[in-house]
Amino acid sequence: MLTPYRPEPYVNFAEHDPRQRMLEALAGVRGQLGQSYPLRIGGKRVETSDSIASSMPASPKTVVGRVAKATADHARQAVAAAADAFRLWSRVEPETRARVLLKAAAIMRRRVYELSAWMCHEVSKSWIEAYADTCETIDFLDFYGREMIRLGGSQPVTPFQGEDNEVRYMPMGVTVVIPPWNFPLAICTGMTSAALVAGNTVVLKPASASPVIAAKMVEVFEQAGLPPGVLSFVPGPGGAMGDTLVDHLQTRIVAFTGSKEVGLRIFEKCGKVAPGQIWLKRSILEMGGKDCILVDETADIDAAAEGVVAAAFGFQGQKCSACSRLIAHQAVYDALLERVVARTRALTIGDTTREENYFMGAVIDDGAYRKITDYIEIGKREGRHIPANINVHAPGPAARPADAGYFIPPTIIADVAPSARIAQEEIFGPVLAVIRARDFEHGLEIANGTEYGLTGALYSNDRLRIERARHEFHVGNLYINRKCTGALVDVQPFGGFNMSGTDSKAGGRDYVQLFMQAKSITERL
């Protein structure tokens, strides 16, 4: 009998045992860098003439691994193989499918330090951010497995005399999963496992910046007993190869997490019915955010400053939930800003694969480095730049990011107008725009004044304002008197409004149902 679900607990890396185990895992992964990973199509390993070299953001000349690069033809083969495997997998009992997830969770629990160490290398997560990513992965597997046991079989309906009535949730078909690089294990596994446990087959196109950890996830599913062909692994470019997967006639669902621009393109493509297509494709989209923390004059500003810094600069601000805007009531603006700056200057930044447990690592790649630094220059023209004055502990000179790593210190731009570019556009980096509000009404107006609606937080001790925020702060995840990042599976189901996506609520009790369709069955007695 299964125990009730509970989120996986974190460790404290200030303690000796977790620190030593992490250092051992980092050394172990360091000895495995540069290996090659084939495609997986229809249960077969497929080598290709071209590959994707995944490099360390903190040391770009170091190759984490070389992953076979799929073509459009490989994509078509993968969809065909998934459609064929669906005939068997869709008929497997829900409890059996759930056990595959529960077994995968057990394997990952045993490998938690190793998997975390891979993320420190491939995406430059800090130790605790990487560990939390792995814990969330385990949570998704444990929770969705239990959910499928709940949703499997006949669902309750109102009895009607003379008839036997029931509702069953049915799998839908081939699901294309396109995850992001910033939560390369948790989000990748969450979308994949929900589709699989619902009885669908999956074609996985991982992010090109983090394909190695996705390959590790595929290995875990194989070890957990997932039948060959149920999950295909086809890394490749988002252009021709990605379009082939989305457009394919046999694709039934597309689950995507990433940028607004790509998400809208997928949404449009799924909305077009091609000749011979006999169903409406379903798109499950989690896109961007321009999240904020609103602080009024009644708040505990020390607690607010702590939450702002953690949410703005954790994992280099590379979270769709990150606090990229601080909106402060004019009565506490200066005092709060002073505390935020002081806490920011106490942060550390460096190569997270080494012995020092740095708070921040490097941003993901050269493209991100250039985009973020361009926005910082824009910010300097739109507000008052407050230097962080933090030393970067990089392998080489910080002026040469192509050699030394893509390190960007946390950046604070004060006195920003609500309509400024850095207050409206998603930067996806360690850049915080600080905005002054005249009063709570004005602050709420600023908070809601973007095209996004993912996460937000309010620090206040005014009960009426807190209750008003529950109704009028227009985000999918609202936090009161805590930071706006760090959602836990089945504690804070995650998903946003407006251009932040379809509010799919990953880690919630209705998420697995998005990958199924309900069938009502009546038999006259």
Any idea which residue has 């495995």 for tokens?
32
Eight-class DSSP state of 227 = P
From the centroid of its chain, how far is CA 63?
23
Question: H helices within 15-110, ranges in order?
Answer: 16-30, 72-89, 94-110
Which residues, other chains included, contact 75 with Cβ-Cβ below 8 Å and sequence gap of 6+? Answer: 203, 205, 234, 236, 241, 242, 244, 245, 248
Q: Are the C-beta atoms of residues 245 and 71 closer than 8 Å to each other? A: no
Rounded Cα–Cα distance for residues 511 and 173 (Å): 16
List alpha helices for 271-419, DSSP H.
301-313, 333-345, 366-382, 401-404
Phi, psi of 197 (to 5 degrees): -70, -25
Q: Both tokens of residue 498?
A: 């407006």
In whole angstroms, give the CA distance from residue 504 to residue 258: 14
Instruction: Work out the angle at residue 136's Cα, subtended by the Cα atoms of residues 133 and 142, and round it to the nearest 5 degrees.
Output: 145
- Distance, CA of 404 to CA of 249 (rounded, Å): 45
- d(CA 457, CA 482) in angstroms, rounded, equals 7
* Calpha distance 42→82 (Å, rounded): 7
Tokens of 458: 């309010």
Q: Which amino acid is at 366?
A: D
Give one DSSP letter per residue of 307-330, joined into a string.
HHHHHHHGGGG-STT-EEEEEEET
Q: Answer yes or no: are the C-beta atoms of 102 and 247 closer than 8 Å.
A: no
Strand 455-459 vs strand 291-295: parallel, antiparallel, or unpaired?
A: parallel
Tokens of 501: 């996506």
Neighbours of 8 (CB within 10 A): 20
**The pair of three-digit structure tokens given for residue 392, joined into one six-digit string:** 């970067």
DSSP symbol at 155: B
| Calpha distance 211→193 (Å, rounded) | 17
As a whole number of Å, the CA-based R_g of the chain is: 23
Active site members: 286, 320
Opening angle at CA 248, ends 242 and 253, nearest 5: 80
